[in-house]
A and B are shown apart, each in its own frame.
Chain A
């Protein structure tokens, strides 16, 4: 139904005949939040649920994320879906390092968040051991609705992020704690 279609609300600002004034943070946030290009780093079961999320029933495209970017250089949000083994850890970090700022990370599923049921010698106990994570999605695997919810949480983060955040000393310190320059 055409009446079901929602158009994103304009941010608060001063509106008059022929002009609209708001802060640049809000405009940039609005643009970023509704055009997040995901990089699916799908390794296992959660990756299959991510496929379902991209599929026609759940359709992540409704949230401006239809353009899957397999190149980390052009991706905004890294979706780590599935178990990350220790062998895979350096690869994941490499992918993260190649992403341009601003970048967000979603840990989809129990394995990516904490190692899940695989508390074993070969599995990394959560990807936050090697890269900073913005949103954790629980579940083994999470339902597509949950994955969409995680993406919407990133949208909220993107909307409310100040333009200077990525240059702030706090952010630099966060990256430094992961050994990222």
Chain B
């Protein structure tokens, strides 16, 4: 019946007998990265191999270290938003809004419900794009490129929605400190509704392509597993932690932006392996769609920005006509507004896990210190433990299912 599993077991046995015979001197070194096509990002792994079995790994990262935190100490708060875009660029709106909410927490701004619901819609769309990229890449790495080319069309549809909202696609710079820059227009609602109508069909097709596919399951089940305890010890968060069976989600634990209003489930896995990570992301896409639907149905009326004239740019027409608006505009753009002193930590559930912002303000125009808790950076250090003893091809899948984003990894 299960020929492939048998062959796999036989091979593994063969390799383990080889391994028992071989000594440290027989190991060979294999350099994976930094430009290897299968690494989906720029990081190096020097693998110590015994035949096909990985014995040890030495990781090198920092190949696109861009010094975000140093730049953030030199820029006014609103100019930090474009930097956050480039952390996890697969779901930049979540990063943007996480940063905005951090500053709003510092200045004590009350964000109207409507803006919060709009943010939730955008963030959940971003989560879907993030998971589309990760899961289709797992598919592509197991040989099913179909999912990648097919699903990317629907990722483009989400980008169309972003373009309607803010005018850009990937690095969105969406929203402002204090709310959104403009209200959703009719086209946005039309496109979101169309997406919610069409996407379930596509996601079902993608699920049917892979989820119970023999070849796919043989490649991913019991590959790169990690237990819940080890995952917590390594600081895992997000889908990777939930795949290991721990139901920690910032959206539920410390609700922000009115997440407590929505009814959604937190999918968890059991084994923490590649298949579980894939399944958790698949299910999260369904949950995200549920949240978006609820937000659309219950969209409150009201303003889409808070009353914080020191931080929220006045409308452009006003700037041309009124003196006050011009002054506020000038003060904000030149970074001359007063910021309270203090330190604040705020975290949001990013595409990869808990994305935290630790902001220390000394009252100056820029942050005194801004530290990003980058989920990738923290959980990627568990990679050697996860692939130890597995085969090289499994290591590739483990990496793609962990969804390590180089921009976020290297800071």
Give yes or no for direct A-B contact (beta carbon below 8 Å): yes
From B67, B85, B171, give the contact of A120 (CB < 8 A): B67
- Smallest CB gap from A58: residue in B: B156
On chain B, the residues within 8 Å of A3 by CB distance are none
Alpha-carbon gap, A88 to B407, bound state (A): 13
Closest to B67 in A: A120
Interface residues on A, range: 20 to 34
Is A85 touching B65 in the complex (CB atoms < 8 A)? yes
Say whether B220 faces chain A, with CB atoms less than 8 Å apart: no
Q: CA separation between A120 and B83, bound complex, in Å?
A: 13
User: Across the interface, do A85 and B152 meet the contact criterion of CB distance under 8 Å?
Assistant: no
- Whether the Cβ atoms of B35 and A91 lie closer than 8 Å is yes
Please tell me which one of the listed residues A44, A55, A82, A117 contacts residue B149 in the complex, with CB atoms under 8 A apart.
A55
Judge whether B152 and A45 touch: CB under 8 Å.
no
When distances are taken between beta carbons in the complex, the residues of chain A under 8 Å from B406 are 43-44
Q: How far is the CB of A128 from chain B (nearest CB, A)?
A: 18
Q: Which residue from chain B places its CB closest to the CB of A94 in the assembled complex? A: B35
Overall SS of chain A's interface: loop
| Given the contacts A85-B63, A91-B35, A45 and B169 also touching, CB distance less than 8 Å | no
B170–A88 CB distance below 8 A: no
Q: Are B67 and A123 in contact (CB under 8 A)?
A: yes
Let me know if A57 and B156 touch, CB within 8 A: yes
Cβ contact within 8 Å between A120 and B70: yes
When the two chains form the complex, which single residue of A48, A83, A117 contacts B170, counting CB atoms closer than 8 Å? A48
Inter-chain contact A120/B71, CB cutoff 8 Å: yes
Contact B64 A44 (CB under 8 A): yes
Give complex CA distance A49, B156 in Å.
11
Tell me if B66 is interfacial: C-beta within 8 Å of chain A: yes
Can you report 22 A-B residue pairs in the complex whose CB atoms are below 8 A from each other?
A43-B64, A44-B86, A44-B89, A45-B86, A45-B89, A48-B133, A48-B170, A49-B169, A49-B170, A52-B152, A56-B150, A57-B152, A85-B410, A87-B63, A88-B34, A120-B70, A120-B71, A121-B67, A121-B70, A123-B66, A140-B171, A141-B170
Q: Which residues of B contact A (CB under 8 A)?
A: 34-35, 37, 41-42, 62-67, 70-71, 82-83, 85-86, 89-90, 133, 148-150, 152-153, 155-156, 159, 169-171, 406-407, 410
Q: A52-B170, A87-B62 are in contact. List 11 more A-B contacts (CB 8 A).
A: A43-B42, A45-B170, A55-B152, A55-B153, A56-B149, A56-B150, A57-B153, A70-B37, A85-B410, A88-B34, A88-B64
